[in-house]
């Protein structure tokens, strides 16, 4: 019969580059690792690992066992967490993926408040310009997404409203004039942020007539970093589109001005996506509460 210590042992061994490395991770000797593996294989009547001098290679049976072991170990961890939560002892890892700028400015301090109330939670915040790409492995609890969702079956929760604007510096608008319609943008210097593999050159608007308008711009400048794009707009390079959370201060003090204000861009609300395996855990629910509280009302409002 296989038991949970066997599963934990094999999960460590299967991901180690060598028996020696596994021994160091398990704090035992390499012969002890080899002997325990042999005993496990004898009990199961299966060969789990190819023997050789190179990197460790799992057999087909070994790969199957690792997949089941990962799921079972995670289920055991969730069960332990649920039992602790009944005593109001909220603990466990919290893995959050968020965009760079928003993650630094708003998600990190919200998580800090969460940990102050629940020190047993151990946060792991991954900042990425491609949150969905960073979530390909199933080792996350929350993805913070800004804007319209791609096709997704994941459970989502809106954390805060967020508008998008077309913006430019007064200096640029004085030099180049103010566009009157979306078509006029083709004659202006426009900048884009390249992220999430999306087509950022097609700009869409809802006009004052209630009709939708689209314009494809030919970027005069681009970057994969939103702060760079904003700084170039502030320097007078041209027109950009940015989220309200990112430019509220510059709009208030006049360093940036709205372009085409009668034409509204699609909102880009702040959304949390939940991993179906952990969405009902106490730590994730407390995290959602903390994020909602921090963003209500929106700090940029």
Q: Look at 38 and 157; give whichever has higher pLDDT.
A: 157
The per-residue pLDDT for 228 is 95
The per-residue pLDDT for 51 is 74
Dihedral sign (CA 25, 26, 28, 32): negative
pLDDT band at 11 (very low <50, low <70, confident <90, very high): confident
Please provide the size of the chain in residues: 301
pLDDT band at 180 (very low <50, low <70, confident <90, very high): very high
Give CA–CA dist 265/300, Å, rounded. 18
Binning the chain into helix, strand and coil, the percentages to the nearest 5 are 40, 20, 35
Q: Look at 83 and 209; give whichever has higher pLDDT.
A: 209
The per-residue pLDDT for 134 is 65
Q: Look at 89 and 280; give whichever has higher pLDDT.
A: 280
The per-residue pLDDT for 45 is 84
- What mean pLDDT is predicted for residues 258-287? 91
The token pair at 73 is 């170990």
Matching residue, tokens 């299966």: 46
Closest listed residue to residue 49, CA positions, set 6, 41, 72: 41
The per-residue pLDDT for 82 is 63
For residues 11 and 71, the answer to whether their CB atoms sit within 8 Å is no
> For residue range 71-114, what is the model confidence (pLDDT) as tens digits?
776 777 666 666 655 556 688 899 999 999 999 999 999 999 99
- 196 CB burial (10 A radius; 0-12, 13-18, 19+): middle
The per-residue pLDDT for 56 is 81
């Amino acid at each position: 019969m296989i038991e949970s210590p066997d599963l934990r042992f094999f999960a460590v061994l299967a991901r180690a580059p060598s028996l020696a490395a596994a021994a160091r991770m398990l704090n035992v000797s390499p012969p002890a690792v080899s002997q325990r593996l042999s005993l496990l294989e004898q009990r199961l009547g299966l060969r789990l690992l190819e023997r050789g001098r190179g990197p460790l290679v799992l057999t087909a049976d070994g790969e199957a066992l690792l997949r089941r072991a990962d799921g079972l170990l995670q289920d055991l961890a969730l069960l332990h967490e649920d039992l602790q939560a009944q005593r109001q002892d909220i603990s466990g890892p919290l893995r959050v993926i968020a965009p760079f700028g928003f993650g630094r400015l708003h998600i990190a301090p919200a998580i800090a408040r969460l940990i102050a109330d629940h020190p047993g939670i151990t946060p792991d915040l991954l900042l990425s310009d491609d949150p969905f790409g960073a979530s390909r492995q199933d080792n996350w609890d929350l993805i913070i997404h800004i804007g319209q969702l791609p096709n997704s079956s994941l459970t989502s929760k809106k954390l805060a409203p967020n508008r998008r604007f077309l913006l430019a510096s007064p200096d640029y608008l004085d030099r180049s004039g103010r566009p009157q319609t979306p078509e006029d943008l083709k004659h202006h210097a426009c900048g884009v942020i390249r992220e999430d593999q999306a087509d950022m050159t097609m700009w869409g608007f809802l006009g004052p007539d209630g009709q939708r308008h689209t314009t494809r711009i030919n970027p005069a400048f681009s970057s994969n970093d939103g702060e760079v794009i904003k700084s170039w707009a502030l320097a007078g390079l041209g027109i950009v589109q940015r989220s309200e959370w990112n430019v509220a201060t510059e709009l208030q003090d006049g360093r940036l001005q709205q372009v085409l204000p009668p034409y509204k861009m699609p909102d880009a609300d702040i959304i949390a996506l939940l991993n179906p395996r952990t969405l009902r855990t106490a730590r994730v629910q407390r995290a959602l509460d903390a994020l909602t509280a921090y963003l209500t009302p929106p700090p940029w409002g």
